[in-house]
Amino acid sequence: MVDIIDVLLTHGPALIIAVPLFGAFLTPLISRLNDKARNIFVIAVMGLTEFIVLLLAYDIFTTNGVHTYTFGSKQPLLTLPSGYLVPVRIIFEIDGLSIFMGIIAVTLALVASIYSWSFMRKEDGLDKYYTLLLLLTTGMLGMVSTGDMFNFFVFLEITSIASAALVAFRVNKGESQEAAFKYIVLSSIGALFVLFAVAILYGQYDALNIATLANRIRYTFLDKVALVLLVASLGMKAGIVPMHMWLPDAYGEAPASVTIAIVAATQASLYALIRMCFTLYGGITSVATIGWILIILAMASIFIGVTMALLQSDFKRMIAYAAVAEIGYMVLGIGVGLALLFSRTPYSVKAIQGGIFHIINDALDVGLLFLVAGAVFYATKERLLDRLGGLARNMRYSTIFFIIGALAVAGMPPMNGFASKLLIYESTYQVSPILAVVAILASILLLAVMVKIFHSAFMGPPLVKAADVPKTMLIAMAILAALIIFFGLFPNIVVENMVKPAADALINQATYISQVLGGV
């Protein structure tokens, strides 16, 4: 038994990619048998992936270590060819932050696959749907765990192609095709600029490994151009404000189960942005400038997200704009941390912890709200708030889940959003009190948005007939709701055991580098 766990841990970084990928390749074959077998198979593959990820996470969080894996070399840990100083092969490097993001990605994907069981039952083309869902999971896990720039680009493309195809799933609706086209055009341009930046770095240092590049980087003019390209394109993929146009469309038009997977994909891009700023360019003092730029963009995201959310009349688009504002809070935490990184104040660490904690909270909260929106759509076939009303009478469980999610997004105690937003406010206050006040006010406006949805959809006279949704959808929502309440009641446990190791891993650039270049 211990041997099996050892093997799983040693080969874990490869297995978290290989297992869902193998599942994706097998899905078209299995779906020829029957539909139920395919659904069970997909959920089992997701569950197995989740198990391996959690196993790796337990090991990483308890030992505070970094797992590396060199593909195709004589030992998994042999990062450099013997007697040589340059890593030649592709290396996976999984530290606290990577596995933290991995947990988010695979949990949301698992919830999405459970939710799809009933939610998508009446659609056709489901074998391709499940294949693409597994491929999207693979792409996200690859993005967060790779330690190689070009490999990152490949997984970025897998993620964006799979999510674009999934956004276009309702093929007869022009809107969803339009949203998918917008999404794939913007993401492929973004990915090409990432590749351009990778090529610039490769041309100067003849290396593709992130740790090696971080070690060799000299901050020439070309490096700064590459940094700008990376920040702009990954910021676009993460939906930060001037480049957020695709996000409400894609979130709003995709089926709800797809939307929460895309929420995770967006956060994987945000992870990449953080990784590039802190690890690849971490030793440069002018990275504080990037921190300030991120703070400004974050404030713009919060402002535009909240105000646009108030103006919407469509259930899902409203939540999508609230998600833009939530992205703003995460970036605010990260930006403050980056701006204060070299002043060595404890608030820098606190801001980074707040930002990272908010990533998982946002995934859970916004994910739950989208699932409730999907449940409302499933029960009523209506998306416009004007035509909804009185749902609380017939959809009791969904209403409870909506209240939980809404309070969490608005940052009300005792939900998890409060715990992380408090960390962000505290540290932002150190930079500029005005920014903190604006952020708090925006949070109150978010509550107003949620109250508006609640009032017009769930209260008042019933305008449409509705019955509560099938059990599997309720189970999926209950998983997220339970996690939200757990994180809200015991934020210290989560911060101590998960967020703190993740933030430490992000700040300690030297550990990341020595894991590849030093140790072995």
Partner 1 sequence: MKNARNLIAVIALAICAVFLIFSSIMMHPFGKPSDSSMDDYIISNAQNETGANNAVTSVVFDYRGFDTLGEATVLFTAVAGVIMLFRREKHE
Partner 2 sequence: MSEMSKIVRTISNSLFPFIMIYGLYVIMHGHLTPGGGFQGGAVVASGCALMLVAYSSEWVFKKVKESNLSVLESIGAIGFISLAFLGIGVTFFYNFLVGSNLLFGEIPPAGPNTGNLNTAGLLPLMNLSVGLKVIAGLFAIVAVMAFVASRGMRKK
Partner 3 sequence: MIYNIPFIAVVLLILVGLATVIFKKNLIKIVIGITIIESGVNLFLITLGYRENSVAPIYTFAPSTKMVLPVPQALALTSIVIGVAVMALMLSIGVRIYRSYKTLDVRKMRRLRE
Residues that bind partner 1 (CB under 8 A): 21, 24-25, 28, 71-72, 81, 84-86, 88-90, 124-125, 128-129, 131-132, 135, 138-139, 142, 150-151, 154-155, 157-158, 161-162, 164-165, 168-169, 171-172, 200, 203-207, 220-222, 225, 228
Number of other CB atoms surrounding residue 482 within 10 Å = 12
Our finding on whether 174 is near partner 3 (CB under 8 A) is yes
**Residue 26 binding target from partner 3, partner 2, partner 1, none, CB below 5 to 8 Å by type:** partner 2
Our finding on whether 383 is near partner 2 (CB under 8 A) is no
- DSSP letters, 410-454, are TT-TTSHHHHHHHHHHHHHHHH-HHHHHHHHHHHHHHHHHHHHHI
Q: By C-beta, is 27 or 472 nearer to partner 2?
A: 27
How far apart CA 349 and CA 504 sit, in angstroms, is 8
Q: What is the nearest approach in angstroms of partner 3 to the Cβ of residue 35?
A: 25
Of the candidates 361, 360, 458, 445, the one whose C-alpha atom is nearest the C-alpha of residue 410 is 445
Residues 436-465 touching partner 3, rule: CB under 8 A, are: none
Scored b (16 or more CB within 10 A) or e, 80-106 reads beeeeeebeebbbbbbbbbbbbbbbbb
**Residue 81 binding target from partner 1, partner 2, partner 3, none, CB below 5 to 8 Å by type:** partner 1
Q: What is the nearest approach in angstroms of partner 2 to the Cβ of residue 17?
A: 9
- Supply φ then ψ for residue 341, to 5 degrees: -60, -40
Retrieve residue 317's tokens.
């688009």
Of the candidates 304, 260, 289, the one whose C-alpha atom is nearest the C-alpha of residue 137 is 260
Q: 270: burial class by Cβ within 10 Å (0-12, 13-18, 19+)?
A: buried
Q: By C-beta, is 105 or 165 nearer to partner 3?
A: 165
Our finding on whether 71 is near partner 2 (CB under 8 A) is yes
Contact assessment for residue 275 and residue 146, using Cβ atoms and an 8 Å cutoff = no
| Interface with partner 2 (CB under 8 A), residue from 6, 25, 286, 460 | 25
How far apart CA 389 and CA 41 sit, in angstroms, is 38
Scored b (16 or more CB within 10 A) or e, 9-45 reads beebbebbbebbbebbebbeebbeeeeeebbebbbeb
**Residue 75 binding target from partner 3, partner 1, partner 2, none, CB below 5 to 8 Å by type:** partner 2
Our finding on whether 72 is near partner 2 (CB under 8 A) is yes
Our finding on whether 447 is near partner 2 (CB under 8 A) is no
Retrieve residue 164's tokens.
């674009």
Our finding on whether 154 is near partner 2 (CB under 8 A) is no
User: Which part of the chain contacts partner 3 (CB under 8 A), choosing from 110-118, 185-193, 274-282, 426-434?
Assistant: 185-193
Distance of CA 164 to the CA centre of its chain: 16
**Residue 173 binding target from partner 2, partner 1, partner 3, none, CB below 5 to 8 Å by type:** partner 3
Which residues here bind partner 3, judged by CB under 8 A? 150, 153-154, 157, 161, 164-165, 168, 171-175, 177-181, 184-185, 188-189, 192, 195-196, 199, 202-203, 208, 245, 249, 252-253
Which residues here bind partner 2, judged by CB under 8 A? 11, 14, 18, 21-22, 25-26, 28-29, 32, 69-76
